[in-house]
Amino acid sequence: MNRKKTGKGQLIVLSGPSGVGKSTVIAELMSQRELFFSVSFTTREPRSGEVDGKNYYFITREEFEGMIARGELLEYTQYQQNYYGTSEKLLQEKLDAGIDVLLDIEVEGGENVRKKRPDAISIFMIPPSFEELSRRLHARNTDKEEVIQGRLARAREEYKEIPKYDYLVINDRVSNAVTEIEAILAAAECRVAKRIHIIEGDNAL
Ligand code: ADP
Ligand code: 5GP
């Protein structure tokens, strides 16, 4: 039986302060299971090592505002003077094909996705401490000090949104965070609502 052929993919929202390790954990997760990472559109400058079409689609403000006007975005936000947004079409194609889709988005986007897609699973990732978050932002060595301070201040605001999320994962070690997310996804896959097609219809067990 191929469950993926009949079931829809699971939409997963992952939020957490910049520098907590979301990209690192996502990369590890993707090496272990089939998962489509929803590549966002952004107007921010690429960091060194970032690849257009892999980390983000890097576009101009005019192009981004065109996508807003045409209603192409499931959600979008302005973060530190830049636009970030999720294409609805790309994501829906994968979900319809039975593939799980993961969004790495901040809390306002998380809220908007929860409203539009109540079946999405939302996970918030935190570091073991704010000192460690600051250390990771500095260690990444990609942002100026004032940008880092802005991201740390924003992190404290974002923490207020944690109660709205379904799950809280602590990224102390990457392997622990990956194990916790794997457990969340495994449980979600066993929900009756996700498996009802197995016992109903012509191909019922
Ligand atoms: P985000 O995507 O949340 O902004 P990154 O994945 O870019 O964060 O990680 C920020 C920095 O922290 C990177 O230098 C990364 O190697 C490091 N990092 C990520 N997870 C951990 C961890 N569990 N322990 C120590 N350092 C980590
Ligand atoms: P960064 O500049 O560090 O890559 O991302 C900054 C913040 O923007 C992160 O919290 C990240 O999760 C969020 N982000 C990335 N893509 C999107 C998106 O498409 N929509 C929203 N709402 N947030 C996003």
Phi, psi of 111 (to 5 degrees): -60, -45
Q: How far is the CA of 16 from the centre of ligand 2 (A)?
A: 9
| pLDDT over threshold 80, residue 122 | yes
pLDDT in tens, 55-64: 999 999 999 9
pLDDT in tens, 66-118: 999 999 999 999 988 999 999 999 999 999 999 999 999 999 999 999 999 99
What pLDDT is attached to residue 48? 87
Decide if 167 contacts 122 (C-beta within 8 A): yes
Is the torsion defined by CA of 111, 56, 53, 51 positive or negative? negative
Q: What percent of the chain has pLDDT over 90?
A: 83
Place of tokens 């924003």: 154
CA distance 60 to 88: 19
Query: Which residues touch 188 (CB under 8 Å, ≥6 apart)?
Result: 10, 121, 194
Is 173 close to ligand 1, i.e. is its CB under 6 Å away?
yes
pTM of the predicted model as reported, rounded to 2 decimal places = 0.93
Q: How far is the CA of 105 from the centre of ligand 2 (A)?
A: 5
- Give the H/E segment covering residue 26: helix 22-32
The closest ligand to the CA of 127 turns out to be 1
What pLDDT is attached to residue 6? 53
Q: What is the per-residue DSSP string for 114-173?
A: HHH-TT-EEEEEE-S-HHHHHHHHHHHT-S-HHHHHHHHHHHHHHGGGGGGSSEEEE-SS
Mean pLDDT over 139-152 rounds to 90
CA distance 43 to 69: 16
The distance in angstroms from the start CA to the end CA of the chain is: 9
Query: How much is the mean pLDDT over the chain?
Result: 93
CA distance 120 to 152: 27
pLDDT in tens, 162-181: 999 999 999 999 999 999 99
Is 26 close to ligand 2, i.e. is its CB under 6 Å away?
no
